[in-house]
Structure 1
Amino acid sequence: MVDLKNLESSIVNIYNNYYLDVFRFLVYFSGNQNDAEDLTQEVFIRVLKNLPHFKSGSNLKTWIFSIAKHVAVDHYRKKKFISIFKEGFFTQLESKDKRPDEEFEITEMEQFIHEAISKLKPNYRAVVILRGIHEFSIKETSEILRCSESKVKVDYHRALRELKRKLNFDAKEVLTNAK
């Protein structure tokens, strides 16, 4: 996939294929679209700098998301966020099919969920975003987070249990994509 002889073309292809997924991940992680744009730029700068060192046998997507996770955690540590997801991605979505009162309830619930996710430990939050929202496999998640598959399973289970406790209802209702 990565053609080091035609590096410019490879970089354009990588950016076009992964920009939106990385941006969404960073929106979920940071809770702020402006920060996510800056962080996405930082991710692709790091990808560009490290592309010659990329191992051709590795999965490019998990490598890029691993960089994104590190950029997000670095940003989190620098800012020492008090509250993440205050103005999250879901609050900016508009539904044309629902009545205003239904939309308000959904928006309120999404804010409640985002706040609960934001209060999870960073490693739990990362697992929930990758597994529950982005639907990465256990193997892909373990590669991105650079931990064992069993740690991903345990952290995901514990994170869902913690969300259930914080939200006072079944965590699978929260993350309909969770499998």
Structure 2
Amino acid sequence: MSELIIDEDWLTQLSEGTNEAYQRLFATYWPRIYTLVHMLVKSDIQAEDLTQEIFIKIWNNKEELPKIRNLDAYIYTVARHASLDFLKKRVLVTENLENLIVHLRDDAPGPEQQILFKDLENCLQNGIDTLPANIREVFMLSRYHGLSHEEIAEQLGISVYTSKTYVVRALKALRLYIRHHAHVQSILFAFLILNRL
């Protein structure tokens, strides 16, 4: 973003909740924030929703604005965090996580993707290693060896319901693990993979 000249009176009016000041903020920053968010999330609807959320967040924290020395940087940071939070949630939806696991198992990345691919794969494997042994075994048979719940139940002497439950628990645990351990770059890489599936 190119930096705008920000006067302190405007920030004070914003912090006081002046409607005119907020309209000026909206008119000045909406197109720039929307463009930035859209570049990250690749969806008109999501970009619009996220941009709206960003302005609401700024409004809800308006008392902090007079302390801000660089409004451009502040708004850019709020927008970037909101976009990355959205991407993390999207990657970690159960169906997307399952697609990602299949992709990591079946497809070799290009040379330029090797580092991020390896980081994401290691993060996922480390997460799998934290699962209880019985859940991990069912998960591996289901997602890495392609066995049906019926086949797993027969092989391990458990019920089909138990097999399904263990896979659900594994996916939930892996979502949490990735959320807390994956680097931002890996999350974005996963998002790009999922967009191609």
Provide the TM-score with structure 2 as the length reference. 0.39
Structure showing greater Rg: 2
**Counting helix residues as a fraction of each chain, which structure ranks higher?**
2
